[in-house]
A and B are shown apart, each in its own frame.
Chain A
Amino acid sequence: MRAVICAGPPTSGKTTVLRHAAHRLAERGRRIAYLKIDVQYCDEDETFARELGVPARKVYSGDLCPDHCSVLVLGDALAWAGRESAEFLIVETAGLCLRCAPYIEGALGLIVLEATSGMNLPRKIGAMLTLADLAVVTKIDLVSQAEKEVFRANLLDAADIPVIETDALHGINLEPVVRRMEATPELVQPSRLRGSPPMSVCTICAGKKEIGWEHHFGIVRTLDSDLFYRGQ
């Protein structure tokens, strides 16, 4: 199994990028599974199932921070994708919390940012950007040449990662993203969270990086269950 974890602010173009990439992977005979993690509403799973006919599902994090939710459910999700005999698990996260980052070791961490979000955005987001492997900048069809360049300069100032500019709506320049996905190595389990989440009170926040709810205490959930309390 190879995993792609995609983060980015709301409406930055995550789904649009992943849909095009998934299409191209499918064209090359790659089997993929798709998981969307969101807070209370999303319908990307239906789009993926309808358009690509791939196993797709969603998880609502509800009262949990969606990136915390992802830590809890990702272990189960990898097993599910395995049962669906997928070679790639593509996870689209909600990306609401700029302090958290859902990337795990051994998976491709993808951040999607829109060029229209203002040239200073790269300076405002932390771990979600700095812990990613690859930044995809969307909506370059809408901004001036000058702003494209300034956006990139600010991005590279904030994080030392490769940057790919795309017009995701028209599927332009997504080939390098697909190549990067294909070059992702097999995920070695057990996998761990990449960075330290911000200070808070749960076991994840306290620095326990193990993937899978079995490793955590307090308010947890499985891929399929509601939240429940797990004490030590």
Chain B
Amino acid sequence: MEIREISVIGGFGKTGEPEAVARLDMRMGDVVSIVGPTGSGKTMLINDIALFADANTPSRRRVLVNGEPAPTIFQEDPSRNPIALITQHTTFLSDLPVREFLRIHARIRRTERQESAVEETLAFANELTGEPIIEQAAMTELSGGQTRALLVADAVVIGNSPIILLDEIENAGIDRLRALKLLKRYRKIFIFVTHDLRITLLSDYRVALLRGAMRAIIPRVEEERRVASRIGRIDEIMVAMRDRLRAGEQLIERELLGDLRQVLDAPSAEVMR
């Protein structure tokens, strides 16, 4: 089944009030952020999506695929499920060597191109992490960041899931912005639960939650791309300062102000580079 669109029909928030957003349509290729304060129901929303909720969860939301209720096979067999959910707790428990494990997954998932899918997964995971993954290492020996990278790469390449849900990738120990850029090469629906300013601003639109309810869908406007870009430069300044601290140096206020002034003074047209 080719997935073109996935929709959430609004239900009720925690206090029982109907959701302000009556319908959320996410089209193939969309990058979406789910934002809101702690406890506002972000995880609940992506769980509803991952479950193809049908008014049978506490929110009473319904999820449609191409405008119709999802086929039951999606729920009945994980390898037929088009959604890969990577939560804050998801991890690998197998102590098989990395390559062997990926081969087993590729074998049950695909009939063809098994070996090249394994190669592509490893290559993609290595692009996401700082430290390359040792293929002979056991899955359980991978670092936190390597594990996240491989979870994402496996879902994207071997799993070939058209819809990827990621809960708080910024805490994953991988370079979140690089990950976002690399992921955008694949045409999928990406849904990020995030507290991160830049991930939010690099998404096509964001869904704001409050007290368990979808409050608004906010498109990312052109001006916000410039905001994101300036914030990125401030980020770079902070990273550079942290590196200098790590190198045992002392920080100089005048230099910081000079760097910040450059960000402030850059004309809007130039800020996008």
Contact = CB atoms under 8 A, between A and B. Distances in A.
A170 B47 contact: yes
B78 A145 contact: yes
B105 A149 contact: yes
B102 to A, nearest CB: 8
B151 interface: yes
A19 B89 CA distance: 23
Interface string B69-107: 000000111110000111101111110000001101100
B108 interface: yes
B180 interface: no
A170 B85 CA distance: 15
A interface bracket (residues with beta carbon within 8 Å of B): 20 to 34
A118 B159 contact: no
Contacts of A144: 90-92, 151, 154
A133 to B, nearest CB: 16
Interface in B97-140: 101-102, 104-105, 108-109
Contacts of B56: 175
A147 B79 contact: no
Contacts of A142: 89-91, 93
Interface in A122-177: 140-150, 152-153, 162, 164-165, 170, 172-173, 175-176
Interface in A170-202: 170, 172-173, 175-176
Interface in B141-166: 151, 154-155, 158-159, 161
A116 interface: yes
A150 B75 contact: no
Given A165-B78, A172-B47, A150 B91 contact: no
Contacts of A148: 78
Given A118-B93, A142-B90, A152-B77, A172 B51 contact: yes
A148 B161 CA distance: 14
Contacts of B108: 149-150, 153
Nearest to A143: B93
A147 to B, nearest CB: 6
A187 to B, nearest CB: 27
Interface residues of B, number: 30
Contact of B78 (A116, A118, A141, A149): A149
B154 A145 contact: yes
B167 to A, nearest CB: 11
A141 B87 contact: yes
A227 interface: no
A223 interface: no
Contacts of A98: none
Nearest to A174: B56
Contacts of B92: 143-144, 146-147
Given A144-B151, A146-B105, A146-B154, A152 B79 contact: yes
Contacts of A164: 76
B215 to A, nearest CB: 23
A115 to B, nearest CB: 8
A148 B158 CA distance: 14
B98 to A, nearest CB: 11
Interface in A36-65: none
A169 to B, nearest CB: 10
A216 to B, nearest CB: 40
A143 B90 contact: yes
Contacts of A145: 78, 84-86, 90, 151, 154-155, 159, 161
20 contacts: A118-B94, A141-B87, A141-B89, A141-B90, A142-B90, A142-B91, A143-B90, A144-B154, A145-B90, A145-B151, A146-B105, A147-B92, A149-B79, A150-B104, A150-B108, A153-B79, A153-B108, A165-B78, A170-B47, A173-B75
Given A140-B78, A144-B91, A145-B155, 18 more contacts: A141-B90, A143-B92, A144-B154, A145-B78, A145-B154, A146-B105, A146-B158, A147-B92, A147-B93, A147-B94, A149-B78, A149-B108, A149-B109, A152-B77, A153-B108, A162-B76, A170-B47, A175-B56
Interface of B: 47, 51, 56, 75-79, 84-87, 89-94, 101-102, 104-105, 108-109, 151, 154-155, 158-159, 161
